[in-house]
Amino acid sequence: MNKSDLIATGDRTGNPSYAPARLIFERGEGMYVYDSDGKAYLDFLAGIAVNCLGNCAPQIAQAVSRQAQTLLQISNMFYSDVQIRLQESLTGGCFADRVFLCNSGAEANEAAIKLARRYQRVVRGEPRTQIITFESSFHGRTLAAITATGQPKYHEGFEPLVPGFAYARFGDLESVERLISADTVAVMVEPIQGEGGVRPAPEGFLSGLRNLCDRTGALLIFDEVQTGVGRTGHLYAYQHFGVTPDIMTLAKGLGGGVPVGAMLATDTVFEGFTRGSHASTFGGNPLACAAAEVVLREVGDPMFLSGVRDVGEYLMASLSNLDAAVPISAVRGVGLMVGAEVGAEKAGAVATAAREHGLLINTAGGTTLRFVPPLIATRSDVDLAMERLRAAMAQVASP
């Protein structure tokens, strides 16, 4: 089939809730992806913060190829050496003692919600029900995860939602204090709101949540699906903010393009799960574990993380100083998770024009351009991205 026929078939057979650009990508390499016409695009989207080592990173491809020839799937009825090594790598690099492996961020967040509730009921013997999340948050598309998501547009048509959720204002401790009580199971928060517009938690907010949870016996859950695995220039964002949660969720960059998620917690909290409490058929399958093992080895290198911080600071400075036809009113972010505020009337048009000029970015929160390139991005990549962004903004601003 030619390009037009393929797109028509995709429209006829695909999920109608998607609205893909009229492009067919055929291959990727490093910082670039290539469409069916051979056009190269500088990738500052990375599959939405997923391809952390670049497109088709050779070290991941080699590991996955080797694993595919030895063992693909055995279920969690048995051990596999690669799964055990991954679990050790995950717990060795953070506060947690144990890991539940799954396939996506939504599944990781579902597991966190279930563990938190069961811990309070089974271990502590307290029939708590309430989980506090935040306005403008995003936690996934499964029913409990969209209920946790503090954006009504994601709730529409799926009512009744899962009971027991309440929404505070992100960055506003007083709004949390008004909600938190002896009935609160947990407070669930993104250290940096991604879909909400790339908004880092303000200074003192996360430590304030930690104090509130300690005072009331609630658990603190960090959704690090987007911020984790080097995205902020630290292995995990909680290390950047200096606040340790009780439960942490990961996905996106963890597999470097291979679907894998994880929910991590301390031994004490994991007492909430006993045999049969929760499971996943494909969770921790050897193929995904092989990819994640490579990612953690590469991204966990202190020199690699230092490079992420350096290029991230350079990206933020470049955006702040960009002389462009569409003004940027604010630049926010940490590491290589950066947002540039341009307003609702311009954001979508700029992202589309950028694609026409060979730069992949997207919008977040309706008003913000989001830059989440592979973590291998260099200052030269940033310079080229700014050149293409400037051209895109000139196109949008022209009559």
Summarize pLDDT for 59-97 with one digit per residue, the tens.
Answer: 999 999 999 999 999 999 999 999 999 999 999 999 999
In terms of domains, do 214 and 344 share one?
no
Q: Which two tokens stand for residue 166?
A: 């309440």
In terms of domains, do 254 and 311 share one?
no
Three-state DSSP state, 298: helix
Q: Determine which one of 223, 246, 270, 273 is catalytic.
A: 223
102: domain CATH number?
3.40.640.10
In the annotation, is 214 catalytic? no
- Do 54 and 376 touch, CB atoms closer than 8 A? yes
In the annotation, is 138 catalytic? yes
Q: Determine which one of 252, 270, 273, 381 is catalytic.
A: 252
In terms of domains, do 288 and 319 share one?
no
What one-character DSSP code corresponds to residue 359?
E
Is 65 a member of any domain?
Answer: no
In terms of domains, do 355 and 259 share one?
no
Is 62 a member of any domain?
Answer: no
Q: How far apart are the first and last CA of the chain?
A: 38
In the annotation, is 252 catalytic? yes
Instruction: State which of 281, 299, 317 marks the end of a domain.
Output: 299
What one-character DSSP code corresponds to residue 152?
G
In terms of domains, do 274 and 180 share one?
yes
In terms of domains, do 106 and 230 share one?
yes
Question: Which structural domain range is residue 28 located in?
Answer: 3-57+302-397
In terms of domains, do 202 and 292 share one?
yes
Which amino acid, one-letter code, is at 180?
A: I
In terms of domains, do 98 and 227 share one?
yes
- Do 63 and 294 touch, CB atoms closer than 8 A? yes
Is 75 a member of any domain?
Answer: yes
What one-character DSSP code corresponds to residue 166?
E
What pTM was estimated for this model as a whole? 0.97
pLDDT given at position 399: 63
In terms of domains, do 290 and 355 share one?
no
Q: Which two tokens stand for residue 246?
A: 């009780």
- Least Cα distance to 265 among 278, 252, 281, 282 occurs for 278
Q: How many domains does the chain have?
A: 2
Is 66 a member of any domain?
Answer: no
26: domain CATH number?
3.90.1150.10
Tens-of-pLDDT digits for all 399 residues of the chain?
888 888 888 889 999 999 899 999 999 999 999 999 999 999 999 999 999 999 999 999 999 999 999 999 999 999 999 999 999 999 999 999 999 999 999 999 999 999 999 999 999 999 999 999 999 999 999 999 999 999 999 999 999 999 999 999 999 999 999 999 999 999 999 999 999 999 999 999 999 999 999 999 999 999 999 999 999 999 999 999 999 999 999 999 999 999 999 999 999 999 999 999 999 999 999 999 999 999 999 999 999 999 999 999 999 999 999 998 899 999 999 999 999 999 989 999 999 999 999 999 999 999 999 999 999 999 999 999 999 999 999 999 886
Q: Determine which one of 44, 100, 134, 138 is catalytic.
A: 138
